[in-house]
Amino acid sequence: MRRQGPPSEIARLAAPVARVLDWAWQRMHWWVALMVVLYMFSGLTVVRSDEVAVVLRWGRLVGETPALQEHGPGLFFAFPKPIDQVVRVQVRHVWEVPVTTLTINAATYDPNDPANAKSINPTAHGYALTGDDNIVHVSMVARYRIREPAQWAFYGPKSEDVLRAEVTAAMMRSLGEMGVDRVLAEGRKDLIAIATKRAQAGLDDAHSGLELSSLELTRLSPPLSLATEFDAVQSAYIGAETKKKDAQGYAESVIPQAQGEADAAVQAAHGEASSGLATAKGEADAFHALDKEYRANPGVVRERLYRDAVEKALGGSRQVRWVPPPTGRSYNGFRITVRQGAATPSAVAATDDEAQ
């Protein structure tokens, strides 16, 4: 005799369910097979040209290296959910995030409130301190892209939150190393460059997978209650810089001109000195040659010099007339009077020998 027990009771209760399942399978088995096929095909993913796909299997990143973790554009298959989760990352797109943690909250700021004209509520409004303990408000726009898709999909928290935190910290530290006059004037480029470098280092340390493309300052100003005073100082600073640049420009134009004139004068003096020296040397050489010739033939040289001198003196006269001395008299020495002109004839008085 078989013993009746709990298994028989379970079989009795499960028999109707088994009959229902057998009936359903006999009539709907192809629907079940179709659902299984569709479920498997749901693991197909199309990765676009500007995307990279990474796979999380049971919450764990698939792949040991970035080359195995990242899948490029094309048709990609993974197990359907909840086994695998495919995360598609746009690696070529650049996003913009406003960073307003260091500026006034426009939604809660009342310019007509007397308290706002004297102080800043640090619990409601953001601000930063410069290196010389001045308060400034900074609004920024951070542009970024995803550089490491695996880190961004698995390790990092929400990308915009970590980006705002790192940019804010980098800007506050950079402002603390610069004076307010430099920050509000010519130091903006240096400020942006330093803050961008520090923010990128913070993003890398946080394994965010983000790359900060650019950082733009949309507002960099003192508190509204001190805006008038800062504007006056800024205007004076700009005026001083303008005058300084004008003076530098004038000096840069005048000094080369004066240097050029000085160089030209020096060159002209050198030219005149060279020309005078050459002329003097030539005359000295001619005199020495004439002296040497005179010592050899004094009479011939004296006669030639005399004739050259007379020809040179009378060469430009229109008329030459020899006047003999009075009868029985002679000229005392040698006297020549030359008159030139169209109406006045020339008169010449000769020596005693020539008159005789």
Per-residue pLDDT of the chain (356 residues; tens, 9 = 90+): 445 445 566 777 677 777 777 776 666 666 666 666 666 666 667 777 777 888 888 877 777 777 777 777 777 777 777 777 778 787 788 889 999 988 876 555 555 555 555 566 666 778 888 988 888 889 999 999 988 888 887 766 688 899 999 999 999 999 999 988 888 778 889 999 999 999 999 999 988 889 999 999 998 888 876 777 777 777 887 888 889 999 998 888 888 888 888 999 999 999 999 999 999 999 898 888 888 888 888 888 888 888 888 777 777 776 766 666 666 555 555 555 555 544 444 444 444 444 33
pTM of the predicted model, to two decimals?
0.54
Contacts 24+ apart (CB under 8 A), 190-193: 191/217, 192/216, 192/217
First to last CA, the chain: 200
CB within 8 A of 251, min separation 6: which ones? none
pLDDT at 114: 52
What pLDDT is stored for residue 133 in this prediction?
86
Within the chain, which residue ranges are assigned CATH 3.30.479.30? Answer: 95-107+120-222
Quick one: pLDDT at residue 144?
Answer: 93
pLDDT at 58: 80
Domain at 95-107+120-222, CATH class: alpha beta
Q: What does the pLDDT read at residue 300?
A: 83
82 preceded by a cis bond (ω within 30 of 0)? yes
**Are 220 and 184 spatial neighbours (Cβ–Cβ below 8 Å)?**
yes
Task: Report which of 129, 222, 217, 239 is spatially closest to residue 179, judged by C-alpha positions.
Answer: 129
Structure tokens given for 161: 């939150």
The 3-state secondary structure of 104-140 reads CCCCCCCCCCHHHHCCCCCCCCCCEECCCCCEEEEEE
pLDDT computed for residue 356 by the predictor: 37
Q: What is the pLDDT of residue 91?
A: 79
Cα 118 from chain centre = 40
